[in-house]
Amino acid sequence: MTTVELTKDNFDEVVTADSFVLIDFWATWCPPCRRFAPVYDKAAESHPDLVFGKVDTEAQQELAAAFNITSIPTLAIIRENVMIFSQAGALPAAALEQVIQQAKKLDMAEVHAKVAAEQAQG
């Protein structure tokens, strides 16, 4: 699967329609972002069952601000409408694959229970 350009207009639709979305926050002027792009694109090809989105932080400043992006590239993973991972820095291919596999193994019922408990505590 190719990557999907995420904007403030399609973000909610993409994230709610798919239960597992990876997001690369990047900018054209960022050398580490440009180095990470082929690694991310190759991972997208290797995982056609997942959605790989890209957010251009220059064009989508509101979206970047909503995620408190202060350093790019930043990789985020949203599963079942819960952000389960967010890390700045360009990952090598093996590390990206490891993050994907760990995210796939998460027990989302347990994650939702923890989120609900945290929300109940205020």
pLDDT tens by residue, 21-57 = 999 999 999 999 999 999 999 999 999 999 999 999 9
Catalytic residue (one of 23, 30, 75, 100):
30
Q: Is the CB of residue 39 less than 8 Å from the CB of residue 92?
A: yes
Q: Where are the domains of the chain?
A: 4-121
Active site residue 6: no
Active site residue 33: yes
* pTM of this prediction exceeds 0.85: yes
Q: Is the CB of residue 100 less than 8 Å from the CB of residue 43?
A: yes
CATH of region 4-121: 3.40.30.10
Cis status, amide bond into 92, omega within 30 of 0: no
